[in-house]
Each structure stands twice: as C-alpha cells, then as structure tokens.
Amino acid sequence: MREKYERLKEILKEMENVVVAFSGGVDSTFLLKVAIDVLGAEKVLAVTADSETYPSSELEEAKRLAKEIGATHQVIETSELSIPGYAENDRNRCYFCKNGLFEEIVPIMREKGFKNVVYGLIADDMSEHRPGVRAAKEHGVRGPLQEANLYKDEIRELSKQLHLPTWEKPSFACLSSRIAYGEKITQEKLTKVEKSEEYIKGLGVKQVRVRTHEDIARIEVEPQDMERILTNHQEIIENLQLFGYKYVTLDLQGYVSGSMNKVLAKSNV
C-alpha cells in the first residue's frame, strides 16, 4: 500500500498542476488532499458540479471539506437532464454524465492555465460497468488513483492516516444510479430518491440506497441496519409513500454497490 501511495505522489508530481473533479466523496477527497500535499495549494483547483443528481447535503459537505483541506474551490452549475441521451437512462448513462462534466471542466482547466484534469477513478472501478471511463479517455482526463492501482479499502486506510474525515464515509453515487435502467429519469424521481434516503439516514442508517422501479422503492442497507428498518417499517412506509412511492420493500441481500448493473448482461437496455 505504501508503494502505491508513493507512486500516486510521483504521478501527481509529474503532472505539475491539476484540476480535480471533486465530489466530496472518499476517493476525490483523498485525491485532492494528496494533490495539495504534493503540488501545493496554488497548483491545485477543485471543481464541483452542482446538478439535479447531486444532493444539496453532499454539496455543502464538499464545500466544507475543500475549505478544511485548504483547496481553492469552484462550484459550477450543470444539468445532466439537459444532456441528450442521459434521461433515457440506458447502459451508457454514465458516459453522457461524465462527458458532459468534462466538457465543462476542461475549458476551466485551459482558462486557468492548468495542464491536467483528474478524477476519482480507482482500481475497483475497472472490474465494473463504468462507461464514464471512455468519456475520460476522450477528454484526456486521468485517474491517478487507478493509475497507482489503489483500491477503495487502501484509500480509506490512507485517508485515516491523513486524518481525513471521509475515511469512513459511506460510498456515494449520483441519484440517477438509483433508477432502474430503461426507466426515464425525471426531476420528480430524483427528488423522491433524495428525500427518501435523507429520511432513512435520519433514523441512524449510514449506508442506504432507495432503488427505484417505477412506483416501487427497494431499500438497500447493510445487514446490521435491517432490524432498524423493520423496527421503523410503518413510519418508513408512510413517509416514502408521501414522497411518491406506492410500494416500499426491503432488499434482503442488503446494500450492494452497483446492484442495478445486474440486469445489463441479460438485457439490451
């Protein structure tokens, strides 16, 4: 792990300066911190895209983290729903998202006089369905964490050693990832997902996904939190129905990152 960490620092040093696509998650926060440690704050710019798929709570945390790390931080307004092909929600949804994001960030890089855009791609991602990787390659955007072959568990441990509060932060993905492939993404659906997950987190559950299948909410939590869900099941049902769902279910398999991708191998979505 230490060798990988040293390799990461070498990669960043060779880049000379970077614009970091910064979400405030475990990976991009670690990347931002190391970039500043290696290059200095004046040679690093964090850019966060505020959009329909990015919860307001995450935006506020990203602002706080950037300030705590000492990064220059720029927030830009974007809209995935306005990107042709995105709302149709096929297997290439993440390509449209990342392509739109990098189309916004690369001009900022040039305008500010930076040489590179980097993002929080990690080694784990290379074994998953990640069409956003293609968009990154097309725009010349690099993933230093992946290049150093760093995995999520290693990034969490290194983040802990660097005293980053995100070392134990639950993994997060955009709200659109909660909506079943082939089902059109709308602002209404994104809003009910955000409200539902924030409500369940308010019950003391750290890791939660409210997967959306039309009118059905399929709740994913860690196995140890299932009892909490069942204890509060009536209250949860009532609130999620107020948010717009007709049926509320608990997935007994528990939280699985990228669980919506299971259907891709068996469908033409």
Task: State the residue for tokens 């690093």.
Answer: 44
Determine the Cα–Cα distance for residues 87 and 179; give it in Å rounded to an integer: 10
Both tokens assigned to 140: 């010349």
- Among 21-30, 59-68, 79-88, 110-119, which stretch is predicted with the lowest mean pLDDT? 79-88
> What is the per-residue burial (b if ≥16 Cβ within 10 Å, else e) of 246-262?
eebebeeebbeeebbee
| Residue 265 pLDDT | 55
The Cα 203–Cα 231 span in angstroms is: 11
| Predicted pLDDT at 211 | 97
pLDDT tens across 230-262, in order?
Answer: 999 999 999 999 999 999 999 999 998 876 666
Helices (H) and strands (E) in the chain, counts: 10, 7
Q: Residue 181 in 3-state DSSP?
A: coil
- For residue 125, pLDDT beyond 90: no
Burial class (CB in 10 A: 0-12, 13-18, 19+), 53: buried
Q: Is the pTM of this model over 0.75?
A: yes
